[in-house]
Amino acid sequence: MPLVPGAIQVYRGIVVDCTPAAQSTPAATIAVKSGVQVFDNVEGTFAGNAAYDILTGHPADPTLPRWDRVWLDSTSALNTTVGTPVAPDDSGAVAKPALPSTANPIADVYVAAAVTTITAGAVQDVRNVVGFPRPTQSFTYSFLSGAQAAADPGAGNFGFDTASVGTLAHMYASSQSAGGIFPGGGGSPMFIWLSGGTTVPQMLPYYLLISSQTDPTLWMVCVVTAVVNHSTWVDVSLTVLNSNQGSPPITNPRLNTTFQDCVFQLLGPVPTITSPTATNGSGVLSGDVTMTLANTFYDGPTTPALGAGTFLLEAYGTFTGVTATTPRFTFRLTDGTTTYAEAEMATSATVPGNVAAQAIVPGGATYKITAASTVAGCTMKRDPVDNSSGAHLASKIDYVKIA
């Protein structure tokens, strides 16, 4: 993508891997390797999907072909735009569906009429692989194969603590690269560079690309989490995100041992992803709750972790008894420690009862309905006993942020 003077460049595409492919044994799914994407100038990590469904959820049309389009969204989640089965045009081509404006394309999958598996020829790799300006530095090194000791590997050399990429945890690198000592001063030059130090902004953890200068098919992308300086060498704690062997990689590192062939390159910090917190919604039962013991509290619907602020909780429960004795039910709204509201009601073995409560509570916690009965064997119901809609709303907790 060319740079336009005076303009803000917006990048969207694949930085590392995310390669799509049919299964080695054709199936209703395809495999997409893990990797890194950039979405409108924001990097995100894609964990990979070894069996991404194409046909199970959307079987092939019995008589007409279609194209399905697989893409990543801004959260690095895979999505599919399912095409409409159509007859080929005069040239034999089948029209592809339009992608959303928010799509980062990965693969176009041809779904022939009546097929039950996706073969290699049906998967088109349509990734937009991008390279974009970023504060990056690099060094050349010579790779020592096999498991190395936690010691100085010698000037210009590096190696790993194991010969298996799947269990690799440490890289041992000389403070002197194959191209000479990196200027910088103040302790190990390599420690300064690899740990962020004074040469680039402190950014642990970050992505480190190790690749071959002579063979572009030889590469590893690692996540560096710590660097320990031993003066003449450094101990780098890392994990392998992906490699030319796929993800998760399991065999020996495929790197060239030729002198000065390997290049270290910083690819930028690992983004911090903060899980969203809820502001409004509901919690319902996944099934009836049998209150086996008398006078013992049993949990009902719960909320997710609520964000900062103040929330209004409204909740109700539906209960049935088991004997001719009239049970009494105590109903609470609680975070597991503090009770914010409670109520009581009585019912019978044949007549269901309903009890409700509400409370204003602080955010930053998870809230739930909890209830006890004076009679053993009663039930907190997921659905009404009579004329149920099947919507599973007989016992429910609602929350809404009010401040």
CA gap 301, 357 in Å, rounded = 13
DSSP element (H, E) containing 189 = helix 189-194
Total-model pTM: 0.40
Side-chain half-sphere exposure of 23, counting CA atoms within 13 A: 15
φ/ψ bin of 186: left (φ > 0), alpha (ψ from -120 to 50), beta (otherwise): left
Rg (CA), the chain: 29
Q: What is the pLDDT of residues 196-232, one digit of tens each?
A: 544 444 567 888 888 887 777 788 888 888 888 888 8
What DSSP line would sit under 303-362, residue for residue? Answer: ---B-SSEEEEEEEEEEE-SSSS--EEEEEEESSS-EEEEEEEE--SSS-EEEEEEEEEE
CA gap 26, 119 in Å, rounded = 5
C-alpha of 120 from chain center: 26
Q: Hey, is 250 helix, strand or coil?
A: coil
φ/ψ bin of 187: left (φ > 0), alpha (ψ from -120 to 50), beta (otherwise): left
CA gap 68, 73 in Å, rounded = 16
pLDDT in tens, the chain (403 residues): 343 344 456 778 887 789 999 999 999 999 999 888 888 877 788 999 999 999 999 999 999 999 999 999 999 999 999 999 999 887 778 899 999 988 999 999 999 999 999 999 999 999 987 754 444 456 778 899 999 999 999 888 999 999 888 788 999 998 877 554 444 434 455 666 666 544 444 567 888 888 887 777 788 888 888 888 888 888 999 988 887 766 555 567 878 888 878 888 877 777 765 555 668 888 898 899 999 999 999 999 999 888 888 999 999 999 888 877 788 899 999 999 999 999 998 887 678 888 889 999 998 899 999 999 998 988 999 998 888 888 888 999 999 988 8
CA gap 30, 126 in Å, rounded = 14
Q: Which CATH class is domain 280-401?
A: mainly beta
Dihedral of CA atoms 173, 179, 184, 186 in degrees, nearest 10, equals 40
| Token representation of residue 266 | 């910083």
Is residue 95 within 8 A of residue 67, CB to CB? The reply is: yes
Every domain of the chain and the residues it spans: 12-125, 138-269, 280-401
CA dist 47 → 16, 109, 180, 250, 284 (Å): 12, 21, 36, 16, 30
DSSP element (H, E) containing 373 = strand 368-373
Nearest residue to 14 (alpha-carbon basis) of 207, 23, 100, 34 = 34
